[in-house]
């Protein structure tokens, strides 16, 4: 199911023009992007990173959350997707948004981050564990990571949809429907929470980077 990083880059370079239409056709629930950004808990002046920012549909929301004194960073492996994000920034005159092309696993933000967002991107990255670890390294203690994405609904419905999901993803946005990002986030963070939408076919989850002395929610504190 997992594709190699170069194949993913080429796929997104090709679908850059169609990506936002594809997302709309996949019934992304109304208000889910807003909820994801809200769950990062950003304050004016904060620094935030979107990993796999694509054509930039979240950049305006992130910018509103950090205000003119904050900064939004975006990284994406696809030049084709970033062309649209850059045009959006230019059109809106956003000076405090910096976009970089490259693999998120190698991205280094120029300053410590207060929050990070994976929006429809985590399970397109075959090395998502490495990307998550790198993101956590760059977050200040207490800073939040939010993951928002589609998933299989639970039970029988999910098992019925799985073959169609795999067929569709292979032809469009790629990714691996068997990946369970919420489990990865819960095991690496504190303060974990998750909300599902549209009968469990979309979710948003969040967790905070442990401060000194905290253990991630997934750790057993023992007797
Ligand atoms: C489905 S799109 C989501 C775009 C955007 N975040 C949104 O919410 O619409 C997934 C994005 O992840 C990017 N991506 C995939 N693998 C990546 C990697 N290893 N490093 C950086 N970006 C990556 C793709 O190029 C694509 O733009």
How do residues 86-130 score in pLDDT, each as one tens digit?
999 999 999 999 999 999 999 999 999 999 999 999 999 999 999
Dist. CA 170 → ligand 1 center (Å): 15
**Which among 154, 161, 113 is positioned nearest to 137, based on CA atoms?**
113
pTM above 0.75, yes or no: yes
Q: Is 74 helix (H, G, I), strand (E, B) or coil?
A: strand
Most confident of the following: 12-26, 73-87, 145-159? 73-87
75 alpha carbon – ligand 1 mean position (Å): 8
Ligand 1, residues at Cβ distance < 6 Å: 5, 8, 12, 23, 52-54, 57-58, 75-78, 81, 103-104, 119-121, 124-125, 173
Mean pLDDT in residue range 216-222: 62
| Integer Cα distance of 148 and 204 in angstroms | 4
Whether CATH 3.40.50.150 fits 5-208: yes
Is 148:117 a contact under the CB 8 Å cutoff?
yes
Q: Which residue has the higher pLDDT, 116 or 165?
A: 116
- Decide if 121 contacts 95 (C-beta within 8 A): no
Give the chain's radius of gyration (CA, Å): 17
Can you give the length of the chain in residues? 223
CA atoms of 186 and 184, how far apart (whole Å): 6
């Amino acid at each position: 199911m997992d594709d190699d990083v170069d194949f993913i880059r080429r796929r997104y370079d090709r679908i850059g023009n169609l990506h936002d239409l594809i997302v709309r056709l996949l019934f992304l629930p109304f208000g889910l992007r807003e909820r994801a950004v809200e769950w990062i808990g950003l304050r004016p002046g904060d620094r935030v990173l979107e990993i796999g920012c694509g054509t930039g549909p979240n950049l305006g929301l992130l910018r509103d959350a950090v205000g003119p004194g904050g900064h939004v960073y975006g990284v994406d492996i696809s030049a084709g997707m970033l062309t649209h994000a850059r045009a959006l920034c230019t059109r809106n005159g956003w000076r405090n948004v910096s976009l970089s092309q490259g693999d998120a696993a190698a991205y280094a933000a120029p300053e410590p981050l207060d929050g990070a967002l994976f929006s429809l991107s985590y399970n397109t990255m075959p090395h998502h564990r490495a990307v998550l670890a790198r993101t956590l390294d760059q977050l200040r203690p207490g800073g939040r990571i939010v993951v928002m994405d589609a998933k299989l609904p639970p039970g029988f419905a999910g098992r019925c949809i799985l073959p169609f999901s795999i067929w569709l993803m292979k032809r469009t946005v790629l990714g691996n429907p068997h990946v369970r990002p919420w489990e990865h986030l819960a095991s690496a963070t504190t303060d974990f929470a998750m909300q599902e939408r549209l009968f469990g076919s979309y979710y948003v989850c969040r967790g905070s980077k442990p401060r000194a002395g905290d253990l991630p929610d997934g750790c057993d504190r023992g007797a």
